[in-house]
Amino acid sequence: MSEKLKEEIIEAIKTVFDPEIPVNIYELGLIYNIDIKKDKTVDITMTLTSPFCPVAGSLPKEVAARASEVEGVTDANVELVFEPPWSLDLMSEEAKFKLNLSGNFMA
């Protein structure tokens, strides 16, 4: 049950975009952890591409709101962390492709 719920939460989070990058925050690697408690409270640990990101105040609230909208979730809490720091290595291959960051640069 919680694995299906986690997938639904991930799909909801994928609707949140960094306003400066045309890729959703999940594919960018900004979501570090999603923990679903027995009471269906969800704790999400996330980071930003930079501690100085202009949406530092609003993006975690948007993630919590999207997760809370998933059927079965009783509440969602988002913790913003900067350790480990975000890097391009955390991005999915899909995100790297969309941003033209994939491929062999040695060619």
Residue 40 contacts by C-beta under 8 Å, 6 or more apart in sequence? 5, 72, 73, 74
Could you state, in chain order, the average pLDDT of each consecutive group of 10 residues for the chain (107 residues)?
90 93 94 96 95 88 97 97 93 91 55
What is the pLDDT at residue 53? 84
What is the pLDDT at residue 56? 86
Residues 66, 55, 77: CA angle, nearest 5 degrees: 40
What is the pLDDT at residue 106? 41
pTM of this structure: 0.89
Task: Return d(Cα 51, Cα 43) in angstroms, integer.
Answer: 20
Task: Return d(Cα 6, Cα 97) in angstroms, integer.
Answer: 25
Domains, the chain, ranges and CATH? 2-82 (3.30.300.130)
